[in-house]
Amino acid sequence: MDEGVTAVRRQFPARIKAIDDLSARSEDFREICRDFADAQSALQKWNVSTDPKRDERVVEYQELIVELSKEIEGALDASVPPTAR
């Protein structure tokens, strides 16, 4: 399984079926998942960094993760037929 999809499955455990279904048919969704995993990885690195820009970068990656989470949730919501909600 794609590491991005795995990261999204960990973030949204209640939506694993929808994540698996959408990732199986959408390259765009898989790309968002990869971006999400990359942002989480970068945040972990910046959290332990001694670089003077550490705090600034941590905030930037936290904000990026929030935005990507919203994008992922929106894609998942849009992929479920209204009658199934």
pLDDT, position 85: 53
* Mean pLDDT value of segment 38-44: 98
Q: CA separation (Å) from 19 to 54, 55, 60, 82?
A: 32, 32, 25, 17
Q: What is the pTM of this model?
A: 0.91
Q: What's phi and psi for 52, nearest 5 deg?
A: -60, -25
Domain boundaries, the chain: 3-78
Give the helix ranges, DSSP H, for 1-85. 3-11, 16-25, 27-47, 54-79
Burial environment of residue 33 by CB neighbours within 10 A (0 to 12, 13 to 18, 19 or more): buried
Given a cut of 60, whether residue 84 has pLDDT beyond it is no
Model confidence at 57, pLDDT cuts 50, 70, 90, reads very high
Model confidence at 40, pLDDT cuts 50, 70, 90, reads very high
* Mean pLDDT value of segment 36-54: 97
* 37/3 Cα distance (integer angstroms): 7
